[in-house]
Structure 1
């Protein structure tokens, strides 16, 4: 199988893998099993499968739709999806490189361009996933704050509470954030965002650019992507990314104070998916939001 054959017959990829007709090398892949596939013409692909069968319904379709939508903007580089099947996703292989100040500045410019491509509404036209969890992408054209509270905070707060990852006191603090969310400002039209842009989902390529992978793409608030880049140790050269971003599309007044609010969604996803190990981060972030 070469790349031309694969483009013409993407449905045949699982059969070739089952019969070991393609060289497969395991690589890191987060919640999925991931591998590098080497085709007969020397081309490489990045492939993802779910650790057990079947994969969650619609998960790979959601990722493929998000990648294509981000790629349409023609700003930040996004891998091309070559195979999107219910239990398998394969895309072009991006040769990894090292982060540099120059790459960070270009990424900041590119990310602003992506966000400016916009969206018709908050949410998306497909059912979403974030990590292993479903993501409610029901489109809405009202205010961002109420949409963010209902679609991005409350569902994962409930799941976190139900599984015992947060205490009653923790839940009460986050509920206070939800109930007062309109007071935090940041009202902007929907931007075209990655939606799960923690540092692990920014791939530094050997071409000197930052590539977007593993999106939970939707129409959202542009500050969300920038805020989550600072999570879990932060992306390299974040200051250069932010400065370059502001050269293209300056952020609204008070954006720094809103960083914890935007981070709260992804932290609640972690308590919902992975348990109480992230409880202290959720509580500290919610407390920071309330302190203003």
Structure 2
């Protein structure tokens, strides 16, 4: 069918988990467009095909507005999976951790980010011999600051207004997973690692590899849901999660980039 796109399972893929994430993100009232799940099983995921459009400042601002509402749909706890998740304790080939049991959830964003986004990948890099003890200590010092609450900060205004501290996030929002589309919300989301997290992480991740009209996305978002003071100074902190994950997967310059980002905040 010409109006669908089919993904077949590769090693490490969790297509049922991806489908659950797409459906969960799509539930947000007034939120960003999400590729519709046509069907899903363990080996195959069929999605609507997104017809892409040329990037524009207007579309970027519309996407920022819509994304703010996606985040404000909220989540039950830090690191939680979508309600209909597949039961897996991690996401994708990177094995990015989920927190599947509320009883195991961190009380703060800093504690969650320290354990499930910084230390888990730093430990893998050390075990694989990619970094040495001195490099590992940089990540450990950052994790200690995060756990102590030194780097905690508020969610954007619409998330705060719900009374719930945790946002509903895409979780892998680099440029390739946001498609400008001929749609009132400006762009569509694909390939999520959806979970409960901090809204600023999605926004920072979008800047890692560049995104057309990014400043207009930020402007549209801030107009709909004002960002907490100092958010620009925290972009690198929130970028670290995807960069250290890429260091684990691909090595190379991602490792030095992850160390540079971590040193900024220790």
Question: Per-residue CA shift, 1:125-167, capped at 9, x if unaligned?
Answer: 4336544122322142611110111112211111122223333
How do residues 1-292 of structure 1 correspond to structure 2 at under 5 angstroms?
39=1, 43-51=2-10, 55-56=11-12, 59-74=14-29, 75-125=31-81, 126=85, 127=88, 129-138=90-99, 139=102, 140=105, 142-181=107-146, 182-188=149-155, 189-207=165-183, 209-232=186-209, 234-290=210-266
Q: Structure 1 residues 78-87 or 138-147, which shifts more?
A: 138-147
Computing the radius of gyration over CA atoms, which structure comes out larger, 1 or 2?
1
What TM-score comes out, normalization by structure 1 length?
0.79
By relative contact order (CA 8 Å, sep 6+), the higher-ranking structure is: 2
Residues in 2 aligned to 1:154 and 1:146: alpha-carbon distance in whole angstroms: 11
Q: What runs of 5+ residues in structure 1 fail to find an aligned partner?
A: 1-38
Question: Per-residue CA shift, 1:16-71, capped at 9, x if unaligned?
Answer: xxxxxxxxxxxxxxxxxxxxxxx2xxx421111234xxx43x71111111101000
SS in 1 for 2:140: helix
C-alpha root-mean-square deviation of aligned residues, in Å?
1.8
Question: Per-residue CA shift, 1:150-204, capped at 9, x if unaligned?
Answer: 1122111111222233333322111111011121121441001111111111111
After TM superposition, give the deviation of residue 102 of structure 1 in Å. Answer: 0.6
What TM-score comes out, normalization by structure 2 length?
0.86
Residues in 1 aligned to 2:35 and 2:65: alpha-carbon distance in whole angstroms: 18
Residues in 2 aligned to 1:141 and 1:284: alpha-carbon distance in whole angstroms: 26
Q: Is the 8 A contact 2:59 2:187 kept in 1?
A: yes
Count of residues in Structure 1 that have an aligned counterpart in Structure 2: 244
Q: What runs of 5+ residues in structure 2 fail to find an aligned partner?
A: 156-164
Q: Is the 8 A contact 2:68 2:225 kept in 1?
A: yes
